[in-house]
């Protein structure tokens, strides 16, 4: 505690680096009494003066500066809405500290609740859902690991009869059009369609652990 500080009541939330001095507390109390009577300039001065003090406590309680700033605004709004409950015969600082204490604890609690309920999405979650969506027919292969699903699919394609394997590689993996595939392979469009259909049916069986027909 600084040498210049007078002995007397002090705040539970305020530590040694308390920006308050006793003289200021008296001023705040007077300013609030005037603000209750509708003096807007005194009220503005009061809010501007308490803001750094409120922030210094909020910064200690919240890691993220944006959270601390939200808490500061919350405290100022609460002070505003309950300003009629302040009794000018009592000192202002404990009143303010009690309000800040309550609001900060409430915010910390709701933050904890939110964290317990919500999971932050990472790229892993995203790739899992995309992978699962793309391969939803291949339920066996739809694991949360890209590599496993892909390898299983490639192995299954490798086990297909040659005409089906080529059809699926051209039309699905290389994303050729039916015309392009027909030109490259020299087979008719109808034959390619049939081969692709059979390939997909076979892949389903293979990925479920059966044999290609």
Contact positions with another protein (CB under 8 A) in 37-66: 37-38, 40-41, 43-44, 47-48, 51, 66
Print burial letters for 83-110: b (CB count within 10 Å at least 16), e (below 16): eeebeeeebbbbbbbebbbebbeebeee
Half-sphere exposure of residue 99: CA atoms within 13 angstroms, side-chain side: 22
Give the tokens for residue 64: 């993220």
Select the residue interacting with another protein from 24, 27, 69, 163 (CB under 8 A): 69
**Least distance from C-beta 2 to another protein, angstroms?**
24
Enter the DSSP assignment of 211.
-
- Assign 48 to helix, strand or coil: helix
Binding track, positions 2-41, relative to another protein; x by CB under 8 A: ---------------------------------xxxx-xx
**Least distance from C-beta 121 to another protein, angstroms?**
22
In this structure, the chain runs to a length of 213
Give the tokens for residue 162: 């040659």
Select the residue interacting with another protein from 61, 76, 176, 212 (CB under 8 A): 76
Select the residue interacting with another protein from 21, 80, 125, 159 (CB under 8 A): 80
**Least distance from C-beta 85 to another protein, angstroms?**
5
- The DSSP annotation for 11-43 comes to -SS--TT----HHHHHHHHHHHHHHHTT-HHHH
Residues that bind another protein (CB under 8 A): 35-38, 40-41, 43-44, 47-48, 51, 66, 69-70, 72-74, 76-78, 80-88, 90, 94-95, 98-99, 102-103, 106
């Amino acid at each position: 505690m600084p040498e210049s500080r007078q002995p007397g009541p002090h705040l539970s939330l305020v530590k040694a680096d308390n920006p308050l001095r006793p003289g200021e507390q008296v001023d705040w109390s007077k300013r609030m009494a005037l603000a209750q009577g509708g003096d807007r300039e005194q009220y503005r001065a009061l809010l501007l003066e308490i803001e750094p003090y409120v922030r210094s406590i909020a910064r200690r309680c919240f890691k993220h500066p944006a959270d601390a700033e939200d808490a500061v605004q919350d405290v100022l709004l609460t002070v505003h809405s309950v300003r009629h409950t302040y009794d000018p015969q009592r000192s202002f600082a404990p009143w303010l500290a009690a309000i800040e204490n309550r609001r900060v604890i409430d915010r910390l609690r709701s933050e904890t609740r939110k964290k317990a309920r919500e999971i932050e999405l990472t790229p892993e979650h995203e790739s899992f859902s995309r992978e699962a969506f793309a391969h939803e027919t291949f339920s066996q292969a739809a694991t949360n690991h890209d590599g496993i699903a892909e390898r299983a699919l490639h192995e299954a394609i490798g086990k297909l009869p040659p005409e089906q394997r080529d059809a699926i590689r051209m039309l699905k993996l290389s994303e050729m059009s039916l015309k392009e595939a027909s030109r490259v392979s020299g087979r008719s469009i109808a034959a390619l369609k049939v081969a692709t259909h059979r390939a997909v049916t076979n892949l389903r069986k293979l990925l479920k652990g059966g044999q290609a027909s």
